[in-house]
């Protein structure tokens, strides 16, 4: 990945879905991206875990699967699952120690603006969330967040990136015209520190 000799080669991304969290049905730990139904955890492996920036992996997973609600996005540590052997028979608990937690993603479509409060080792930080918003709140140490007016709390351990708020709506829509679509994608990349790009460029 990223080598000049192979950068333009075609790539195949294998995605697997499973209905069981503790059994190997679907072989989700063998594919580039695995998702378990009704679980809050998505693990990127293979080529998706090899992107040089953690944010690139998180954005590809987010835009490919379009998760709804709150999900934890992780990626395989370099060759960890392969070295472990017999990965097809490993449960989610076994795999957890071989992955790096990237981001806690919350996807929503608010009818009106709301406030999200994230608490970590640095204290509490609040951000307004309007329809169409997409941004990253970097965190340090264990994380907890909640929306204004809700008693529900979402928690996670230390994250490489932090909390990603996705209020772009589902299904994800892109403008048809290049003059509008390219700056939109550039803003999304910039919002999660995916690439060192300037506003309005890609």
183 domain residue, yes or no: yes
How far are the Cα atoms of 11, 48, 50, 159, 161 from residue 136, in angstroms, in the given order? 28, 20, 21, 12, 8
**58-111, pLDDT tens digit by residue?**
999 998 888 888 999 998 887 555 544 444 445 555 555 688 999 999 998 888
**115-173, pLDDT tens digit by residue?**
999 999 999 999 999 999 999 999 999 999 999 988 889 999 999 999 999 999 888 88
Q: Say whether pLDDT at 45 is over 70.
A: yes
Token couple for 36 = 């378990």
120 domain residue, yes or no: no
119 domain residue, yes or no: no
68 domain residue, yes or no: yes
Element (H, E) at 21: none
If you count them, how many residues does the chain have?
202
How far are the Cα atoms of 17, 21, 120, 144 from residue 27, in angstroms, in the given order? 8, 11, 34, 31
How distant is the alpha carbon of residue 89 from its chain centre? 25
How far are the Cα atoms of 82, 102, 121, 129 from residue 139, in angstroms, in the given order? 30, 11, 8, 17
Domains in the chain: how many in total?
1
Give the global pTM: 0.76
88 domain residue, yes or no: yes
Can you give the residue range of the structural domain that contains 66?
A: 15-109+131-138+163-191
């Amino acid at each position: 990945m990223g080598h000049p000799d192979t950068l333009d080669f075609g790539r195949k991304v294998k995605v697997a879905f499973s209905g069981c969290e503790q059994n190997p049905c679907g072989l989700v730990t063998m594919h580039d991206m695995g998702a378990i139904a009704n679980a809050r955890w998505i693990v990127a492996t293979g080529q998706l875990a090899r992107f040089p920036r953690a944010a690139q992996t998180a954005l590809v997973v987010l835009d490919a699967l379009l998760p709804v609600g709150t999900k934890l996005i992780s990626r395989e540590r370099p060759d960890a699952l392969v070295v472990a052997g017999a990965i097809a028979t490993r449960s989610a608990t076994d795999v957890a120690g071989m992955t790096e937690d990237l981001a806690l993603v919350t996807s929503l479509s608010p009818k009106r603006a709301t406030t999200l409060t994230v608490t970590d080792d640095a204290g509490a930080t609040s951000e307004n969330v309007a329809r169409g918003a997409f941004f990253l709140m970097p965190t340090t140490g264990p994380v907890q967040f909640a929306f204004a007016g809700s008693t529900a709390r979402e928690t996670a351990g230390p994250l490489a990136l932090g909390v990603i708020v996705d209020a772009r709506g589902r299904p994800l829509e892109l403008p048809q015209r290049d003059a509008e679509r390219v700056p939109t994608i550039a803003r999304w990349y910039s919002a999660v520190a995916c690439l060192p790009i300037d506003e309005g460029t890609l």
